[in-house]
Amino acid sequence: MKKVLLSEILTPSVKITSPDAVISEVLAEMAALKISCVVAVDAERRPQGIFTERDAVRLLAERRALGKLKMAEVMSTPPFSSAADIDFREAYRLLQERGFRHLVVVDSEGCLLGIVTEGDFMQRLDVGDLSEFKSAERVMSRNIVTVDVDDSIADAISLMSRNRYSCVVVMREQIPYGILTERDVVRLAPLIDDVGDTPISSVVRTPLITAPPGMKLPDAIKLMTQHKIRHLVVTENDNLLGLLTRHDLVKTLQGSYVHFLHETIQVQRKELFRLSQQRSLFKLHDAALAASANAIIIADRQAVIQWANPAFSLLTGYTLEETVGSSMRDLVKSGEHSPEFYVEFWRTLLDGRVWHGEIINKHRDGTFYPEEMTVTPVRLDSDEITHFIAIKQDISERKQAEAQIYNLAFFDALTRLPNRRLLNDRLEQAKAASKRSGCYGALMFLDLDNFKPLNDEYGHEVGDLLLQEVARRINSCVREVDTVARFGGDEFVVILKELDTDMSASTAQAGIVAEKIRIILAQPYSLTIHATQDKSAKNTVEHHCTSSIGVVLFRDHVATSIDLIKWADLAMYQAKTAGRNLIRLYDSKA
């Protein structure tokens, strides 16, 4: 596979501006020139930041007054940049890992040479590599953001920004009707104050260019080129199936290069392991061995591991031969962190700053483990970063201890239900949620009616078994968003969140749950205990007990959590006084 350098595919005619440029003028130029970005440079043409169509969507979604807003206030900085002498496929891989779509290319002095976009990659990648893919359906994205023609332009822009999508598909009566792209948003920027709240139907691009799911990918590329579009909506019988973007196509073409890299890396691993022992790494070894009690790896600027100590093998399960030549990015990656986490991680390192924190990684056997890691960028004979040193420590035991402390602080040791401290926190959260949504919440106070005789006759061991079973039964009656807590002794509290905006409906809903709990707690209990002398011998105690339940509703409540618990407790005592095994709703007028 022929090597093609960035210098051969970059676009040198980049639109540049000063960081002090007024952003409204920048947007106007982007719309007029139909370009996807503008680069801010200093007097020596050193890139200071970049403003893209996606940045424009984010800015307009915030409905900020453009006015005299400066480029420096909204541009992404520092821009992701690269030297011109790396292979364009490797450059695309780096862009993918960091989630960017524009690569600023600079010379040895850090001055701007040009920019590379997905369009440039598309022109260089071999369309013949798509022959293994039968149709657009194999490559298209199915996670699509849609809006209705009657939705406002501002709402559509907000959806694009929130989901970080390059377009939204506009639907009319459940049928794809048009499309609004980031480029359209840039075009609308000067008018957004006037048209932001008008229906999207007034500006959406129609007719919609669509393709059937069975269209061959080379044909899809020709169709997109013919109509000068970057998004192709895939439909069948007026049903929206997916969206084929230039990003999807470039990513697919890049797949052939990933296979090429994999084969190359396998061949070079032994050579890399030998090279890792040479004099060029002696200084790095000396620094790493100073902390050899922890796992240590040394990687080059491309994150390829050059050296690892035995502690790393013990931590991860990978031998040194398996480790050296592997990517620091992928070897123990667990998938437990978001792409944004890794973007910020590498941005910190490439800025020359030390990264320190906790991360979840994956052992060779597939198990996950938490580790504390410090990664330090290293500069040897120049000011450029040449390597990274990572020092790792397994913190599983510390995390277990922290979890144990947390459980002791916030959960009842017998029933594993939230205790009073966590109950108060959950109740405050429920009150705040009720105030935001306008929906009622409910608090129930439960007391077992026939618990003390069981304790007196059979002892606390049997009483504990009953309390554990009661906790399980109550939990089975509520939703995951609700809370069941042990208040103390044989008393339990239930918090129901987000019922209804209507008080009567909420009262009925709370009553249904309370009745469900009352009925299930009144069912007989079979409690199995072990004999004191012979542990293999078992005795079963049959017991029957009921519960009295007090209920209070709340919404926009000025009352404290203590008041709500007190009122529910009063209602519960009314249930007991009335004969037990009953439910009573708190009445403030009673």
Do 57 and 168 contact (CB within 8 A), yes or no?
Answer: no
580 and 513, same structural domain?
A: yes
Residue with more model confidence, 37 or 257: 37
Helix %, strand %, coil % of the chain (to 5): 40, 25, 30
pLDDT of residue 535: 54
567 and 423, same structural domain?
A: yes
The answer to whether position 270 is within a domain reads no
Q: Which of 67, 100, 124 is the last residue before a domain boundary?
A: 124
pLDDT in tens, 314-371: 888 999 889 999 888 888 788 888 889 888 999 999 988 999 999 998 888 989 989 9
pLDDT of residue 260: 47
- Half-sphere exposure in the Cβ direction for 212 (13 Å, CA): 5
Rounded mean pLDDT of 284-295?
A: 63
Q: Is 534 a catalytic residue?
A: no
Reduced to 3 states (helix: H, G, I; strand: E, B; else coil), residue 227 is helix
Say how far residue 129 (Cα) sits from the centre of its chain. Answer: 32
The pLDDT of residue 275 is above 80: no
The pLDDT of residue 580 is above 60: yes
Rounded mean pLDDT of 536-549?
A: 84
pLDDT of residue 248: 75
Query: In terms of residue numbers, what domain contains 68?
Result: 6-124
Q: Which of 234, 251, 268 is the last residue before a domain boundary?
A: 251
List the CATH number of the domain containing 315.
Answer: 3.30.450.20
The pLDDT of residue 261 is above 50: no
The answer to whether position 256 is within a domain reads no
Q: At what angle do helices 246-275 and 217-227 cross, to 10 degrees?
A: 120
The pLDDT of residue 258 is above 60: no
pLDDT of residue 1: 54
- Torsions phi, psi for 350 (to 5 deg): -70, -20
* CA Rg value for the chain: 32
The pLDDT of residue 69 is above 70: yes
State the sign of the Cα–Cα–Cα–Cα dihedral 483, 486, 492, 493: negative
Is the preceding omega at residue 47 within 30 degrees of 0, hence cis?
A: no
226 and 174, same structural domain?
A: yes
Rounded mean pLDDT of 398-417?
A: 83
User: Would you state the structure tokens that stand for residue 263, as one six-digit string?
Assistant: 């084969």
Reduced to 3 states (helix: H, G, I; strand: E, B; else coil), residue 13 is coil
450 and 375, same structural domain?
A: no
pLDDT in tens, 460-485: 889 999 999 999 999 999 999 999 99
The answer to whether position 497 is within a domain reads yes
Q: Which of 203, 236, 251 is the last residue before a domain boundary?
A: 251
361 and 487, same structural domain?
A: no
The answer to whether position 267 is within a domain reads no
347 and 319, same structural domain?
A: yes
Do 5 and 87 contact (CB within 8 A), yes or no?
Answer: yes
- Torsions phi, psi for 206 (to 5 deg): -135, 160
Q: How many independent structural domains does the chain possess? A: 4
State the sign of the Cα–Cα–Cα–Cα dihedral 346, 349, 355, 360: positive
The answer to whether position 405 is within a domain reads no
32 and 140, same structural domain?
A: no
508 and 359, same structural domain?
A: no
Q: Of 71-75, 93-97, 437-441, 505-509, which gets the smallest average pLDDT? A: 93-97
The pLDDT of residue 126 is above 60: no
Q: Cα separation of 140 and 142, whole Å?
A: 6
142 and 55, same structural domain?
A: no
The pLDDT of residue 403 is above 80: no
pLDDT band at 198 (very low <50, low <70, confident <90, very high): confident
527 and 417, same structural domain?
A: yes
Which member of 120, 447, 482, 490 is catalytic?
A: 490
pLDDT of residue 290: 47
Q: Where are the alpha helices (DSSP H) in 373-451?
A: 396-410, 420-437
Where is 118: in which H helix or E strand? helix 118-124
List the CATH number of the domain containing 581.
Answer: 3.30.70.270
577 and 455, same structural domain?
A: yes
The answer to whether position 265 is within a domain reads no
The pLDDT of residue 68 is above 90: no
Q: Cα separation of 513 and 424, whole Å?
A: 21
524 and 417, same structural domain?
A: yes
